[in-house]
């Protein structure tokens, strides 16, 4: 790495997160780590730490992602969460990659083909999100029968994905009951991996019936969405309003708070490459987006919107002190500093002093989006067993 802009990914924290999740939610056999989009942009070489923590299945969104992981990790089962083109199923099968099916026509075509190895399949059930999945009970029953009758396919799993898992959420119960109804004719004892819950379902709701697995995404990466009420009158009223809503609508228990210990493992750094004095009335950066209100000192940092960082992030931290971002370019941001800052000082974009929550709040977004913004141009430095290694993805 010659440009000192990097994401620091603490694999040890991720291992600990998985261990803590498993300790608290210990009633499952399959802990499926969702590692799509280069492991939520942490980099796929977090996988050994996830496995050490207790992840025993991986999930990705495409065959390309699955094959990239298979190059390095031969033994761990991998599920593709979206249906793939039927002409590529052979490639998945050859590489021990599990596919997902979501409609009867696809299954009918699948069973006409011969595969050299047993093809592992998970069925997707649409619980109301209207994105993917079977919507019709007859199609589910017929697909189940077709797959079970085929001699080189194995219906290993069945899953749904919940659109909500919220705060005053009447959709969740409907989605769950719809799923139960759609699968009610199947002999579920023949399907080893039944997985409905994603991270927020897990922390907000009771365990879903029949499930033997969970899919862990953002929670495993350290984002625990806790909502706590303060003792203020405003919060008391909000809390009462919610309780009454849940009661009136017969909504099943929803937990806003929990004692699960997970921590973010992703922090982002760069360094100061230039410092200049700017006089009152002068501009900083493109388009006169910023005009100096007074004489000031400005530092230039080599990280820009091509790396996923822009002026809306708000602040950076240098030597543990926060400084405001004034303007951005494709490759750099400019920051107002004071005379304690020196060339080559390390700059934290987020991590310890600037929390991910603070950045998400400034951007009006959440951790899923924040991680996705950080581009692959940013080198990932992984910490594992307290040792650092640099990886360019
Ligand atoms: C089908 C499916 N399962 C699981 C996940 C993981 O969700 P989360 O990060 O909320 O756990 C996703 C994420 O988008 C998904 O699409």
- With 90 as the cut, is the pLDDT of residue 118 above it? yes
Predicted local distance difference test score (pLDDT) of residue 271? 98
What is the C-alpha separation between 242 and 203, in angstroms, rounded?
18
Above pLDDT 90, what percent of the chain? 89
What was the pLDDT predicted at 217?
Answer: 98
Nearest CA to ligand 1 atom 15: 161
CATH match for 266-391 among 3.90.1300.10, 2.40.37.10, 2.40.50.100, 3.40.50.720: 2.40.37.10
Which of the residue ranges 2-6, 17-21, 22-26, 185-189 would you say has the lowest mean pLDDT?
A: 2-6
Q: Ligand 1 centre and the CA of 34: distance in Å? A: 7
**pLDDT on residue 212:** 98
In ligand 1, the atom with minimum distance to the C-alpha of 159 is 1
Q: What is the pLDDT, as a whole number, of residue 3?
A: 92
Q: What is the structure's pLDDT at 154?
A: 97
Average pLDDT, the chain: 96
Residue whose structure tokens are 């050859």 = 94
Mean pLDDT is lowest, of 109-123, 224-238, 282-296, 321-335, for 224-238
State the greatest distance between any 2 C-alpha atoms of the chain, in Å, as a whole number.
78
Nearest CA among 35, 60, 37, 46 for reference residue 10: 46
For residue 32, give the ligand 1 atom closest to its CA: 4
CA-proximal residue: ligand 1, atom 10 (nearest): 199
For residue 200, give the ligand 1 atom closest to its CA.
10
pLDDT band at 211 (very low <50, low <70, confident <90, very high): very high
Atom of ligand 1 nearest to the CA of 218: 9
Q: Tell the residue nearest (CA) to atom 9 of ligand 1.
A: 217
Residue 180 scores a pLDDT above 90: yes
In the prediction, which pLDDT does 168 show?
Answer: 75
Q: What would the two tokens of residue 168 be?
A: 């005053």
Atom 2 of ligand 1, residue of closest alpha carbon: 161
Q: Enumerate the domain spans of the chain.
A: 56-219+225-248, 266-391
- What per-residue confidence (pLDDT) applies to 13? 98
CA-based angle 124:125:131, to the nearest 5?
85
Q: Is the CB of 122 under 6 A from ligand 1?
A: no
- C-beta 200 within 6 A of ligand 1: yes
CB 44 within 8 A of CB 76: no
Alpha carbon of 237 to ligand 1 centroid (Å):
33
Quick one: which atom of ligand 1 is closest to the CA of 368? 9
Give the pLDDT score at 378.
97
pLDDT by residue (tens digit) across 121-177?
999 999 999 999 999 999 999 999 999 999 999 999 999 999 998 777 889 999 999
User: What is the architecture, at CATH level 2, of domain 56-219+225-248?
Assistant: Alpha-Beta Barrel (3.20)
How many whole angstroms from 228 Cα to the centroid of ligand 1? 24
Q: Using one digit for the tens of pLDDT, what is the confidence trace for 28-45?
A: 999 999 999 999 999 999
pLDDT grade for 324, boundaries at 50, 70 and 90: very high
Is 34 touching ligand 1 by the criterion CB < 6 Å? yes
**Residue of the nearest CA to atom 13 in ligand 1?**
217
pLDDT exceeds 80 at position 110: yes
215 C-beta closer than 6 A to ligand 1: yes
Strands 6-10 and 266-271: antiparallel
Q: 340 pLDDT exceeds 80? A: yes
- Eight-state DSSP code of residue 277: E
Please tell me if the CB atom of residue 204 comes closer than 6 angstroms to any atom of ligand 1: no
Cα–Cα distance measured from residue 102 to residue 238, given in angstroms and rounded to the nearest whole number = 40
Counting from 1 in the atom list of ligand 1, the atom nearest the Cα of 34 is 6
| Rg from Cα positions in the chain | 24
Sign of the CA dihedral running 349, 355, 358, 361: positive
Instruction: Measure 197 CA to ligand 1 centroid, in angstroms.
Output: 9
CA nearest neighbour of 297 among 313, 320, 312, 318:
318
Cα(217) to centroid(ligand 1), Å: 6
The Cα angle at residue 29 between residues 25 and 88, in degrees rounded to 5:
120
Per-residue pLDDT tens digits for 42-77: 999 999 999 999 999 999 999 999 999 999 999 999
Give me the residue label for tokens 């939520």: 40
Determine the pLDDT at residue 170.
84
Instruction: Specify whether the CB–CB gap between 258 and 225 falls below 8 A.
Output: no
Residue 253: the pLDDT is 84
Ranges assigned E (strand) in 303-393: 315-318, 321-328, 333-337, 346-350, 379-384, 387-391
The reply to whether ligand 1 has any atom less than 6 angstroms from the CB of 124 is: no
Atom of ligand 1 nearest to the CA of 202: 11
Contact by Cβ (8 Å): 140, 183: yes
- Give yes or no for residue 42 CB within 6 A of ligand 1: no
Give the pLDDT confidence of 195-206 residue by residue, as tens digits. Answer: 999 999 999 999
Q: What percent of the chain has pLDDT above 70?
A: 100
Ligand 1 pocket member 198 (CB < 6 A): yes
Q: State which H helix or E strand residue 324 sits in.
A: strand 321-328
The token pair that represents 261 in the structure block:
């210990």
What is the residue with the minimal CA distance to atom 8 of ligand 1?
217
What's the average model confidence in pLDDT over 14-31? 98
| 252 Cα–ligand 1 center, Å | 22
């Amino acid at each position: 790495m010659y440009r000192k802009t990097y994401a620091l990914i603490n694999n040890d924290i991720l291992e600990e997160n998985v261990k803590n999740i498993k300790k608290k939610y210990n009633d499952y056999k399959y802990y499926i780590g969702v590692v799509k989009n280069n492991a939520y942009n942490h980099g796929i070489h977090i996988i050994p730490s996830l496995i050490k923590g207790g992840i025993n299945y991986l999930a990705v969104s495409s065959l390309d992602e699955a094959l990239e992981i298979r190059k390095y990790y031969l033994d761990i089962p991998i599920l593709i969460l979206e249906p793939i083109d039927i002409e590529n199923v052979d490639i998945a099968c050859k590489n021990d990659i599990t596919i997902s099916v979501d409609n009867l026509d696809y299954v009918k075509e699948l069973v006409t083909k011969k595969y050299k190895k047993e093809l592992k399949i998970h069925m997707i059930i649409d619980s109301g999100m209207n994105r993917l999945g079977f919507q019709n009970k007859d199609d589910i029953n017929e697909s189940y029968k077709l797959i079970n009758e085929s001699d080189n396919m194995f219906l290993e799993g069945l899953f749904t994905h919940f659109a909500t898992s919220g705060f005053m959420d009447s959709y969740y119960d409907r989605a769950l009951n719809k799923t139960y109804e759609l699968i009610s004719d199947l002999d579920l004892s023949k399907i080893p991996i039944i997985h409905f819950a994603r991270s927020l379902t897990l922390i907000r709701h009771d365990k879903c019936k029949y499930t033997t697995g969970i899919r862990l995404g953002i929670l495993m990466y350290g984002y625990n969405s806790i909502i706590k009420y303060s003792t203020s009158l405003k919060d008391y009223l909000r809390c009462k309003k919610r309780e009454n809503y849940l009661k009136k609508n017969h909504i099943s228990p929803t937990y806003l708070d929990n004692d699960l210990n997970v921590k973010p493992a992703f922090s982002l750094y760069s360094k100061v490459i230039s410092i200049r004095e700017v006089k009152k009335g002068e501009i900083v950066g493109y388009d006169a987006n910023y005009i100096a209100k007074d004489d000031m000192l400005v530092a230039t940092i080599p990280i820009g919107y091509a790396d996923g960082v822009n002026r809306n992030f708000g602040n950076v931290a240098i030597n543990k002190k926060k400084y405001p971002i004034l303007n951005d370019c494709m490759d750099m941001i400019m920051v107002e500093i004071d005379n304690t800052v020196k060339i080559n000082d390390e700059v934290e974009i987020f991590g310890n002093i600037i929390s991910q929550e603070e950045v998400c709040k400034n951007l009006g977004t959440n951790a899923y989006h924040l991680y996705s913004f950080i581009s692959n141009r940013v080198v990932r430095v992984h910490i594992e067993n307290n040792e650092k290694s640099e990886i360019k993805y």
